[in-house]
Amino acid sequence: MNLPTWFNYTFYDNPLRDWAMVVAYALGATVIFVLLRGTVVRRLERAAATTDTIADDYLVVLLKAIRPALLIAVTLRLAERYLDFPARVDSVATWVMVAALVLQLFTWINRSIDFWVGHYERRHKDAGSKTALTVLSFVARLVLWAVVILTALEGMHVKISGLLAGLGIGGIAVALALQNVLGDLFGALSIVLDKPFLVGDSIAVDQLEGTVEHIGLKTTRVKSVNGEQLIFSNGDLLRSRVRNLSRRDGRRLVFTVTIAPGTAAAQLARVPAIIADVIAAEPRATLQRTHLTGAGALGFEVETAMLIPHPEATLAFDARQAVLLALYARLENEKIELARPTTVSVAHTTPT
């Protein structure tokens, strides 16, 4: 078959027939790839809908994430192999190909992180896990992008030793300048991974008590029992003594009953048994101990400790109130008097 004479014309030191062959190969490869990818993706999507595994779902995400820039890079590489280009054009083609590969890697990294983060969120609905995912995805993207960029520069024959040294010194300076922020950031990560408390838990920090509303990257917000919002930095919160009130088995309540000082010893000896009977009749409370502890300024003191097997404060106070009311009624029936404070009147005389 005789080709037209204009196929022999040269363009950038290459005959037009070679250009036509490379373009035909590139277009054919692109069409085949697009059709093949579409067919494979559709079949994988149908198969993934019928299985519980996530490997096929992840493969679909990766196939869909292939960018046209990668096809352009492959086309340039084919053209460079079959055509003769000046050294400058070869250098530009290499840079374009590396840039396309880096861009594709960025896309795969982002899609992979989004995919696994979404999969984790669907399995863990709590807000603390979302905070952890935010921190981890940010750190993962930062580290992976740094690795990809440095690898790309190395592939372009760029000396990165000086760049690494500069990044190391700059990283130390930034870490020193932002040590409080980084401490709170990793504090948030420690909280959501170790889970000393969750959103909705009642906690006590020193003398402050409230319900956890939000665990953020820098601060944790707590709604106090008085109604105001308490804001703790995550670093300070981890260094404090935090008590998780929601995870206790119950509440231990201690109260003291003071018996009048003129009470006979026989009646006084019956008080602990009366208290034990009253607590035994209360289904929301369990007696731990009750003893006569001594004589105070007002009278004989009987100290009692009981356990409310429920963390709810209102339930505990209701149970204690019921126990005290029943106890006062029993003491009244037994003719055992409670101590009453005495009022001392001091008369002041005016000297004449």
pLDDT tens-digit series, residues 260-307 = 998 899 999 999 999 999 999 999 899 999 999 988 888 999 999 999
| Beta-strand relationship, 202-205 and 208-215 | antiparallel
pTM score, whole prediction:
0.48
The pLDDT score that the predictor gives to residue 114 is 77
pLDDT tens-digit series, residues 130-150 = 656 666 677 777 777 777 677
Q: Is the pLDDT of residue 352 over 50?
A: no
Q: Do domains 157-247 and 251-333 have the same CATH topology?
A: no
Name the token pair of 344.
């001392």
Name the token pair of 329.
């009624």
Query: Taking the domains of the chain in order of start, what are their residue ranges?
Result: 5-123, 157-247, 251-333
CATH 3.40.50.970 corresponds to the domain 251-333 = no
Question: Picking from 44-53, 173-182, 184-193, which range would have the lowest pLDDT averaged per residue?
Answer: 173-182
Of 327 and 89, the one with more pLDDT: 327
Fold (topology level) of 157-247: SH3 type barrels. (2.30.30)
d(CA 85, CA 83): 6
Provide DSSP, 128-152.
HHHHHHHHHHHHHHHHHHHHHHHHH
